[in-house]
Each structure stands twice: as structure tokens, then as C-alpha cells.
């Protein structure tokens, strides 16, 4: 028995012919180890990359207590609990231009937002409530000690790690790293993913369509999905159903990539050579997953590369990619932060057909109905109807055990796009 088969056979309730979605995910995880390999990149180039170091502030951010508002820096102890207090204005401090002297009893300093709090002061009174009388100001009662100031280190504390290895760097992280004056960081090397389409019926763009042929669209959706994951991609084109060509494609993919994604030719009872070649060249399992769309799928390894043999139907490719391959590739890429896609609950606008015993990923449109968000399907749900993915803005995830859904019942949705 090969290693992959050994690992998955140890999983509770593993059944390759009726594999539950969560089991398939678990099996994939159990067989994959993240790539090693690190490089140093400039902070800006690190966007989306997987951090491979801790970011530990060498100083506090902000470095000094400073004013959060435009106004006057005062000593809280000078202020009367009741009635007005008159203070002498002895200077000014701007952001980047501190006041050099010390502030004594009965004195204050004009401050702008971001100005370092002058020595001796602890409180800022906003300019709107102050009455100016020549070189003095009059402060009303009711000010609170420390108000309108920002403490040194309230954003980042010296010595306390803020970013950890395994995190994909987001725009805020780049800013945070920059706020520490760090110009270069260590990140994992980019994952390399090779992909190709299989099937004799496929024509490439540029060639005329012969009778019975379809243009290869899977390579375009895969290109889009892989590009967004931030991996390096290796497009090996359409591979005819010919043993020599398939073998060459798998060999080239395995030699040059960390993972291989193919589409087509993995159905049970499939007559073409794709499955045979996968089985011959690597350790590969052929699954029937209890899901819709996307039932057949191959998973395993060829050489050192992880293999994902996705079904051929255009919607099934996208669903299996998002539900299995995305998770697997992020794991391989070294991510250890939480990248599970959130599931939100919203009411179904209309009844949904569903039979228990499989997880369904219906293509949905999340829309606002008056004040409330609801979800409806895009209509036709055939796994060849790619338009359904294009029109959708979410998956309606109907759980394994669930049956028919009535209008108004809450369902889980997984959004396609977020604030990234
Ligand atoms: P298969 O999984 O190979 O049996 O393919 C299932 C269906 O998906 C068939 O109708 C194929 O023609 C279609 N299909 C397979 N590969 C592609 C592709 N790359 N682009 C568009 N349709 C495809
Ligand atoms: Mg086929």
C-alpha cells in the first residue's frame, strides 16, 4: 500500500466512494506538508506573501505620548474641579515639531494633532471649548485627566511580537511593518502550481471549433483562481487523450511544480487515459465525493508534487477548487493563520431543492430585500452552466444532512469577494 493510501485509511469514516466533504478536506490536509524555502523581499513586494519571521517592534509606536486633537496641552492638576481655569500660553507644538521647554504650574502649550505632549502636561483640551484672552486661555470645568491624548506604545509595544510566521500579509500589515521602519521581510517562497486541461473534445482559443468540440474554459477559470491565490502558475495547455502526451505533461508538471491541477477525465468509468496515467505515475486516490456539483475527484502525489485531478464540468472545477484545492494550496504555501472562508447565515428568499446525503454548493445571489439581506439561487444549477458562477456572488452551502429548504429558512452562504 502506498503512503497516501495508508494515511487516509487511518481516518475515521473514510469511504472513497461516498466521501463527505469534511473528510476529503481532512484527508488532503493529512497528506500534505508545507513547502520550505524562504526569501527576503522589500516590504511592498510582500503583499499577499506568507510571512516567515516574527515582526517584533524595536520601539514603541507611537514613540511618545502625543495629542489626539488640536487644542491645548495642560496639567490636569491645574484645572479646577468647578468653574473656569485661566492658563498662560507659553508656546506651541506641532506634529514633528515638539515643544522643547517644560510646562509649569498655570501654563499651557498650544498643540496640534500628533504633537508630542510637552514635558509636564498630561491632558489636552480641545480648542473648540477654550476661550482665548490675549496670551491666556480660559478652560471650562469638567475636563478629564489624560483626555484627547494617545499613549506611547498604544499601537505597537516594543518587544511584543505583532505579526507571526504563517500569516499572509494584508495592506494593514504592510503599513504596520512600515511604521516600524522595516524595509525588508522574510517570506516563504511562492508556491508553484502547474495546470492543464484534458479531453479530446477541447479546442484552444484561436482554433476553429469542430463539430462536438468545446472551447477549453477550465484553464481560464483556473488561471483566474490560481492568480488570485498568489501562487506562481505554469500553464501546460490542453493535453490530448494520448498516453505519451499525458505522460509528458505529468512528468513536466511534477518536475517543475509543487502542485498539479488538472481538469477532466476523472469520472468513474471514464474511458480516457487520464486516470490510468495518474495511477501509473503516482500515488493517486480516486474519490466520489458526496457533494454537488463535483462528485469525482482524484487526489494524490506524482513525484514530489501534490495532485488534484478535478472533474471536467466547468462549475464542478470551480467548486472543487474553492472547497478543496484552495485550502490545500494555502496549507502547502505555509499559511497557518485562519484562512477558512466564513459562513454567514441569511434567509432563503425562495424554497431550495435539496436531498440529504450530500453537501450542495448552489450558486447564489445575496441581495437586499428592503432592510434585510436574503439569498436566492441564480436559477439553472447544472454543473455545465458556468454562467451560474458568473452571475453568483456567493455559494449557498447546504449541509450534508439537510433536506429541502423552505422560504425564509436560514441557509449558510460563502461570499465570493471580501475587502481584499
Ligand atoms: P469529464 O469530467 O472529462 O467527463 O468532463 C465532463 C464535462 O466537462 C464534459 O462535458 C466536458 O466536455 C466538459 N469539459 C471537460 N474539460 C473541459 C474544459 N477544459 N473546458 C470546458 N469544458 C470541459
Ligand atoms: Mg472527459
| CA 270 to ligand 2 center in whole angstroms | 7
Please report which confidence band the pLDDT of residue 168 belongs to, taking 50, 70 and 90 as the band edges.
very high
Please report which confidence band the pLDDT of residue 15 belongs to, taking 50, 70 and 90 as the band edges.
very high
pLDDT value for 420:
59
Please report which confidence band the pLDDT of residue 2 belongs to, taking 50, 70 and 90 as the band edges.
low
Angle at 321 between CA 319 and CA 323, to 5 degrees: 65
Q: Are 328 and 377 in contact (CB under 8 A)?
A: no
C-alpha cell, 35: 513547502
Looking at the CA of 382, which ligand is closest? 1
Q: Are 278 and 309 in contact (CB under 8 A)?
A: yes
Whose C-alpha lies nearest to ligand 1, atom 8?
A: 313
Q: Is the pLDDT of residue 161 over 70?
A: yes
pLDDT in tens, 191-238: 999 999 999 999 999 999 999 999 999 999 999 999 999 999 999 999
| CA 263 to ligand 1 center in whole angstroms | 7
Please report which confidence band the pLDDT of residue 379 belongs to, taking 50, 70 and 90 as the band edges.
very high
| CA 288 to ligand 1 center in whole angstroms | 17
Q: Does the beta carbon of 217 lie inside 6 Å of ligand 1?
A: yes
pLDDT in tens, 26-82: 999 999 999 999 999 999 999 999 999 999 999 999 999 999 999 999 999 999 989
pLDDT in tens, 321-360: 999 999 999 999 999 999 999 999 999 999 999 999 999 9
Element (H, E) at 409: none
Pairing status of strand 259-263 against strand 192-198: parallel
Which among 275, 313, 314 is the best mutation to test ligand 1's pocket, defined by most ligand atoms within 8 Å of the CB?
313
| Helical H segments across 260-345, by residue range | 274-281, 314-320, 326-332
Burial of 186 (0-12, 13-18, 19+ CB in 10 A): middle
Whole-angstrom Cα distance, residue 204 to residue 122? Answer: 70
Whole-angstrom Cα distance, residue 28 to residue 6? Answer: 13
Using CA of residue 53, residue 54, residue 56, residue 61, what is the dihedral sign?
A: positive
Please report which confidence band the pLDDT of residue 418 belongs to, taking 50, 70 and 90 as the band edges.
confident
pLDDT in tens, 108-130: 999 999 999 999 999 999 999 99
Looking at the CA of 313, which ligand is closest? 1
pLDDT in tens, 247-285: 999 999 999 999 999 999 998 777 779 999 999 999 999
Whole-angstrom Cα distance, residue 225 to residue 114? Answer: 43
The proportion of the chain whose per-residue pLDDT surpasses 90, expressed as a percent, equals: 95
Q: Are 262 and 310 in contact (CB under 8 A)?
A: yes
Q: Does the beta carbon of 265 lie inside 6 Å of ligand 1?
A: yes
Looking at the CA of 267, which ligand is closest? 1
Pairing status of strand 66-67 against strand 85-93: unpaired
Q: Whole-model pTM?
A: 0.94
Q: Are 418 and 394 in contact (CB under 8 A)?
A: no
Q: Is the pLDDT of residue 300 over 80?
A: yes
Q: Does the beta carbon of 267 lie inside 6 Å of ligand 1?
A: yes
Q: Is the pLDDT of residue 153 over 60?
A: yes
Phi-psi region of 190 (alpha: psi -120 to 50; beta: other; left: phi over 0): beta
Q: Does the beta carbon of 201 lie inside 6 Å of ligand 1?
A: yes
pLDDT value for 267:
87
As a whole number, the mean pLDDT across the chain is 96
Amino acid at each position: 500500500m502506498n503512503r497516501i493510501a495508508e494515511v487516509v485509511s487511518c481516518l475515521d469514516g473514510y469511504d472513497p466512494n461516498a466521501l463527505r466533504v469534511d473528510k476529503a478536506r481532512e484527508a488532503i490536509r493529512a497528506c500534505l506538508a508545507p513547502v520550505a524555502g524562504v526569501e527576503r523581499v522589500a516590504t511592498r513586494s510582500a503583499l499577499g506573501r506568507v510571512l516567515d519571521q516574527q515582526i517584533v517592534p524595536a520601539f514603541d509606536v507611537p514613540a511618545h505620548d502625543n495629542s489626539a486633537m488640536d487644542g491645548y496641552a495642560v496639567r490636569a492638576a491645574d484645572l479646577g474641579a468647578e468653574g473656569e481655569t485661566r492658563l498662560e500660553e507659553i508656546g506651541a507644538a506641532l506634529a514633528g515639531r515638539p515643544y522643547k521647554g517644560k510646562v509649569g504650574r498655570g501654563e499651557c502649550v498650544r498643540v496640534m494633532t500628533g504633537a508630542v505632549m510637552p514635558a509636564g502636561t498630561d491632558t489636552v483640551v480641545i480648542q473648540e471649548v477654550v476661550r482665548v484672552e490675549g496670551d491666556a486661555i480660559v478652560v471650562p470645568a469638567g475636563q478629564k485627566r489624560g483626555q484627547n491624548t494617545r499613549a506611547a506604545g498604544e499601537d505597537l509595544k516594543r518587544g511584543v511580537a505583532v505579526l507571526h510566521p504563517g500569516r499572509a500579509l494584508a495592506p494593514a500589515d504592510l503599513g504596520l511593518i512600515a511604521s516600524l521602519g522595516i524595509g525588508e521581510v522574510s517570506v516563504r517562497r511562492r508556491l508553484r502550481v502547474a495546470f492543464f486541461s484534458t479531453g479530446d473534445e477541447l479546442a484552444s482559443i484561436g482554433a476553429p471549433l469542430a463539430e462536438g468540440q468545446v472551447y477549453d474554459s477550465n484553464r481560464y477559470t483556473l488561471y483566474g483562481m490560481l492568480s488570485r491565490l498568489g501562487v506562481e502558475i505554469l500553464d501546460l495547455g490542453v493535453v490530448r487523450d494520448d498516453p505519451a502526451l499525458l505522460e509528458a505533461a505529468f512528468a513536466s508538471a511534477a518536475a517543475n511544480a509543487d502542485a498539479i491541477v488538472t481538469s477532466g477525465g476523472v469520472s468513474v468509468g471514464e474511458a480516457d487515459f487520464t486516470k490510468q496515467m495518474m495511477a501509473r505515475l503516482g500515488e493517486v486516490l480516486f474519490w466520489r465525493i458526496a457533494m454537488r456539483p463535483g462528485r469525482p475527484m482524484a487526489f494524490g502525489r506524482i513525484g514530489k508534487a501534490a495532485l488534484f485531478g478535478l472533474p471536467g464540468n466547468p462549475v464542478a472545477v470551480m467548486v472543487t477548487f474553492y472547497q478543496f484545492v484552495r485550502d490545500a494550496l494555502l496549507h502547502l504555501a505555509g499559511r497557518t493563520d485562519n484562512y477558512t472562508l466564513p459562513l454567514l447565515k441569511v434567509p432563503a428568499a425562495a424554497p431550495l431543492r435539496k436531498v440529504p446525503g450530500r453537501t450542495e454548493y448552489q450558486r447564489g445571489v445575496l441581495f437586499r430585500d428592503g432592510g434585510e439581506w436574503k439569498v436566492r439561487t441564480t436559477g439553472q444549477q447544472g454543473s455545465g452552466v458556468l454562467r451560474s458562477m458568473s452571475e453568483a456572488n456567493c455559494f449557498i452551502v447546504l449541509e450534508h444532512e439537510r433536506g429541502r429548504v423552505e422560504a425564509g429558512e436560514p441557509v449558510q452562504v460563502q461570499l465570493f469577494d471580501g475587502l481584499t
